[in-house]
Structure 1
Amino acid sequence: MTTSPPTLPAGLTTRPLTRDDSRSVFELIAAQELEDTGRVDIEEADLISDWNRPSHDLAARSIAVFDGERIVGYGELVGADRADAAVHPEFRGRGIGTWIAGWIRETARRLGSTVVGMPVFVGSAGDRLLADLGYHVRWNSWVLELAAGAEVPARELPAGYAIRQARRAELRAVHDVLEDAFLEWSVRERESFEDFTASTLGRPGFEPWNLRVVTDAAAEVVGVAVVILTDDTAFVDRLATRADQRNRGIAQALLVDAFAQGRAHGATVSELSTDSRTGALGLYEKVGMVVTSNYVNRAIGL
């Protein structure tokens, strides 16, 4: 027996997103996060940063659902198998989320994907919906916080190593260290250097101090931290050590430095996120960080 694809409630309209929609989508996601988690983690700069990437075709990979002039739901295929979506809490229970999930699956199939998934807060309406639609859990992820006033234990670097702000001439080495490390456990295409610079250096509010590196005695980049300052929070967006340089305290030294730099620029709270593919949760808990949010990535074969 076949079933008809879901339809949107009468009166709602759709179109692809444009860059001018970043504020409206931010407000939509913020409303969903506040309802589901009691806090807002999204920034408009997160969307602008993602949409800055030259490889991202927003017109082909996104959909917005409108009630009049108001965006009340959206879906976006970010990579080959990663999607994001949100429905305003006031519009839940009308089939909008189910319709968006169907649109994402169909778009992913059309673009050649064999699986697609998205992160959802554990126990949220989105988590329950995807479970009901047959999505399985691929991995868990967590947001961790170092409370105001707390310190990560300092680690001395090996002789001849230094920690500092990255230099423009080092950007390709920075990108290589990050991608080499993340691709050890993340199954995706390698991020282009152009996408990296557009989303990192092109992020609204980016300042040179946000990009931290550890160099070895030969002045080669062997560790990288990307720090995002949001109001009173320093968020370590990415942290990586070159494979041949691990177990020397480089990652912990970068954490100490990143959080100290954040405080020097007005932050009182320090955060980062990790997931079960990395095996790093225990490391962060060992240095005094505590889990504040728990997400799962739910996926389905196409």
Structure 2
Amino acid sequence: MPETPELPAGLTTRPLRTSDATAVHRLMAAQELEDIGEVAIEEADIVSDWAKPSHDLAARSIGVWDGDTLVAYAELMGADRADTSVLPSHRGRGIGTWLAHWLQDLGRRVGSSVIGMPVPQGSPGDRLLEELGFHVRWTSWVLKLPAGATIPERELPEGYVVRAAEPGDMRAAHDVLEDAFLEWSVRDREPYEDFEAATLGRPGFEPWNLRVAVDGDGQVVGVSLVLVSDNGSTGYVDRLAVRADQRHRGIAQALLVDSFAQARAHGTTTAELSTDSRTGALGLYQRVGMVAESIWVNRAIDLT
């Protein structure tokens, strides 16, 4: 890449602190509202990510301030997952380019071979990253179940039930999720401690949020993490997985039905989830009546 540019005069930088979560949320919300017309990020998403024991926020983040206002930030989680945001009022000043260079320098220092980040397709961030040589790794869709719509129920195999996870289910639930996601995701296995901190430690988490499908012997064979938006209107299926040897038996759809029903019982009127082109699951969700609300691309650049 070209030589790292200078930040505009008058801006200051420092690593982020956990006390900056509200400021980061405000920044990301302003960018999402500008780019996709709605705010999807919640402060609890940021807090739960930062609660993971493996994440060194001070060493892997940077905030850019204009006086007392956070106008941009970037961070790198794990080997390659970057997140960045620039306040719409401060775009066009080279801040995003500076952050892209900062992330690459950090990635090289920690031994990453590639870094990538999600951006709304066609957004200013998408166009900037393309200009800087970032390629599309995969495409993601945020899908919504329209208000009033229902997903046809699927009968579970005999002896199977879907229920709230119990304390003794947690490690098995983590294994089901990780085994499934690592079939198509190239990353290290998530430590159980990170899963526990980001799930049970998420602000507002309640036991009913983590749903499990269990077989007749009480073994966890499927998992769904369903959350409720801050305004209480939307149930969001954050993660959904079924053990490989138990697929094609209606378990995933039964978990979806249960998740959306539980969310509605807790006051929501719509439901959402996200999937990407690595999973091949888009058609499944469209067939049960979900529609794409926004499209995102993960743009990445090789560091070797």
Question: Runs of 5+ in structure 1 lacking a partner?
Answer: none
Whole-angstrom distance in 2 between the partners of 1:248 and 1:23: 43
Whole-angstrom distance in 1 between the partners of 2:194 and 2:179: 15
Whole-angstrom distance in 2 between the partners of 1:10 and 1:4: 18
**Hey, what does 2:245 align to over in structure 1?**
244
Q: How does 1:1-302 map to 2 (within 5 A)?
A: 3-230=2-229, 231-302=232-303
Q: Which amino acid aligns with 2:203?
A: P
| CA positional deviation for 1:138 | 0.4
Whole-angstrom distance in 2 between the partners of 1:114 and 1:180: 23
Aligned length: 301
**Secondary structure, aligned partner of 1:58:** coil
**Secondary structure, aligned partner of 2:21:** helix
Q: Which amino acid aligns with 2:9?
A: A
Q: Which amino acid aligns with 1:138?
A: R
| CA positional deviation for 1:4 | 2.9
Whole-angstrom distance in 1 between the partners of 2:190 and 2:67: 37
| CA positional deviation for 1:3 | 4.4
Whole-angstrom distance in 1 between the partners of 2:286 and 2:116: 27
**Secondary structure, aligned partner of 1:119:** strand
| CA positional deviation for 1:61 | 0.5
Whole-angstrom distance in 2 between the partners of 1:81 and 1:48: 20
Whole-angstrom distance in 1 between the partners of 2:47 and 2:2: 38
Whole-angstrom distance in 2 between the partners of 1:49 and 1:82: 15
Whole-angstrom distance in 2 between the partners of 1:24 and 1:71: 6
Whole-angstrom distance in 2 between the partners of 1:146 and 1:157: 22
Whole-angstrom distance in 2 between the partners of 1:122 and 1:5: 25
Whole-angstrom distance in 1 between the partners of 2:3 and 2:28: 29
Q: What are the superposed Cα offsets for residues 136-187 of structure 1, whole Å, 9 maximum, x if unpaired?
A: 0000000000011100110000001011001001100000000000000000
Whole-angstrom distance in 2 between the partners of 1:67 and 1:129: 22
Whole-angstrom distance in 1 between the partners of 2:287 and 2:276: 16
Q: Under a length normalisation based on structure 1, what TM-score does the superposition of the two structures give?
A: 0.99
**Secondary structure, aligned partner of 1:75:** strand
Q: Which amino acid aligns with 1:283?
A: L
**Secondary structure, aligned partner of 2:23:** helix
**Secondary structure, aligned partner of 2:275:** strand
Q: How much is the aligned-residue C-alpha RMSD, in angstroms? A: 0.7
Q: Which amino acid aligns with 1:154?
A: E
Q: Which amino acid aligns with 2:218?
A: A
Q: Which amino acid aligns with 1:215?
A: V
Whole-angstrom distance in 2 between the partners of 1:235 and 1:251: 15
Cα 1:256–1:69 shift into 2, 3 Å: same
Q: Under a length normalisation based on structure 2, what TM-score does the superposition of the two structures give?
A: 0.98
Whole-angstrom distance in 2 between the partners of 1:76 and 1:152: 37
**Secondary structure, aligned partner of 1:240:** strand
Whole-angstrom distance in 2 between the partners of 1:205 and 1:147: 25
Q: Which amino acid aligns with 1:252?
A: Q
**Secondary structure, aligned partner of 1:203:** coil
**Secondary structure, aligned partner of 1:292:** strand
Whole-angstrom distance in 1 between the partners of 2:187 and 2:3: 32
